[in-house]
Amino acid sequence: MDQNIIIKGTPQKNKVSAIMLTASVIAFVCALLFSLYAYQNLERYFSLGWGYGGTWYYFIGYDDDFWAYFWGEFFSFRLMYGYILIASVIAFVVSIIMKTNTEKCEITVTNEAISGKLPRGKEVHIPLNQITAINRSSFNGVSITSIGNVSNFHCIENREEVMKAISYLLANPTQGNTQPAQSSSMATVSGEGNEAEQLKRLKDLLDAGVLTQEEFDAKKKQILGL
């Protein structure tokens, strides 16, 4: 039997990784600028303690070499730019890993199975009769639990519509074999059956949240020839 597409997930960008990436770049630039400012304007000595003649000072002496000053003061608690640089690099790496592992997921719901791509491009095909649970996952994703496996599809813009369509198919397994195809988030009803049957299937999709009221009204007029 041919599989009819009920709905396709719309990929989206990972907003958390985008914010973290932007913040890490800003912190990196600010730390570099502050180290340059410190080199040009701040006194290059610090107190070592108190002696008989008062405070002892140690002159650092990086007047002519910025990079010698930069690395020499990298872990200075007076300036802290080195720690900020390290934190920004860690945040940058984490954001790239997060972006790579969550974006570009694909999910397609048909009347027989869930298929698509998981993070890192792993392709999956999950028959509906093997699905045991469906939940929301991190990064606006859909988590599908099947026999012996959990598949997480992250960054799905129309997540709620996808979950409603899957929930409807799981709650009405017999409808899955007759439920019509859908392009993107718009469901369409095939020409099989009489008008009453098509309208009934349309109403089921409306009640399940797969169709909006506007889409339902448009298809109803189309079926009735209005």
Do 124 and 192 reside in the same domain of the chain? yes
47-70: string of b/e by CB count within 10 Å (b at 16+)?
A: eeeeeeeeeeeeeeebeeeeeebb
Do 58 and 44 reside in the same domain of the chain? yes
Do 47 and 112 reside in the same domain of the chain? no
Q: Is the overall model pTM greater than 0.75, yes or no?
A: no
The parent domain of residue 107 ranges over: 5-14+102-224
pLDDT in tens, 95-115: 999 998 888 899 999 888 899
Do 9 and 96 reside in the same domain of the chain? no
Q: Mean pLDDT, to the nearest integer, of 28-54?
A: 71
Do 184 and 90 reside in the same domain of the chain? no
Do 218 and 168 reside in the same domain of the chain? yes
Do 122 and 84 reside in the same domain of the chain? no
Q: What does the alpha-carbon distance between residue 136 and residue 98 come to, in Å, rounded to a whole number?
A: 18
Q: Is the pLDDT of residue 43 over 70?
A: no
Identify the domain boundary among 56, 75, 101. Answer: 101
Do 140 and 201 reside in the same domain of the chain? yes
Do 138 and 213 reside in the same domain of the chain? yes
pLDDT in tens, 156-199: 999 999 998 888 888 776 655 544 444 344 444 444 446 777 77
